[in-house]
Structure 1
């Protein structure tokens, strides 16, 4: 849990992902298209990935990936991120976190 929190707070946006997950790919693509350069942590490529996946589940991420943190705070998975994007809140959150300057 500590490792997830530490990694999530190192950049304005952190995404915990799996390289084979199509929803993870879509969320990463969304952030890149918004001009964000997120920290990406591929759990299936990390020796402690399974441990981090359990920590994400304990934090309330279900499914565990993609798990998006903005400003060190858990936003949620694809559904939450897309809802925020569609209602215009995501851009505001990204500006407040210093991830974009539009």
Structure 2
């Protein structure tokens, strides 16, 4: 759990993913389209993968990945992120981390 909390605070927006997960890819594309360069942790490349998955579920993710953190706080998984985006609440949340450079 400590490792997940430390990793989730490494940058303003952090996404825990697996490289074989299509929903993880979709969430990454959404953030890229919103001009945010999140820190991506592909947990299937981490020797502690199972422990990280368990910690993410304990923190409140319905599925372990994708798990999105903003400012070190869990936003949630795909449904949570998409709901925030559709309601107009995601952009104000990530505004400090948007890049306007090409």
Q: Same fold (TM over 0.5)?
A: yes
Residue by residue over 1:25-45, the C-alpha shift from the partner in whole angstroms, topping out at 9 and shown as x without a partner, is 000110011110100011111
- Give matches, 1:1-102, under 5 Å: 1-95=1-95, 98-100=96-98
Give the 4+ runs in structure 1 shifted more than 6 A.
none
**Equivalenced residues, count:** 100
Secondary structure of the equivalent of 1:55? helix
State whether residues 35 and 99 of structure 2, in contact with CA within 8 Å, keep that contact through their aligned partners in structure 1. Answer: no
Task: Give structure 2 stretches of 5+ with no counterpart.
Answer: none
State whether residues 42 and 49 of structure 1, in contact with CA within 8 Å, keep that contact through their aligned partners in structure 2. Answer: no
> Normalized against structure 1, the TM-score is what?
0.93
Taking only aligned residues, the RMSD between alpha carbons, in angstroms, comes to: 1.1
Distance 1:47 1:35 in 2: 31
Task: Give structure 1 stretches of 5+ with no counterpart.
Answer: none
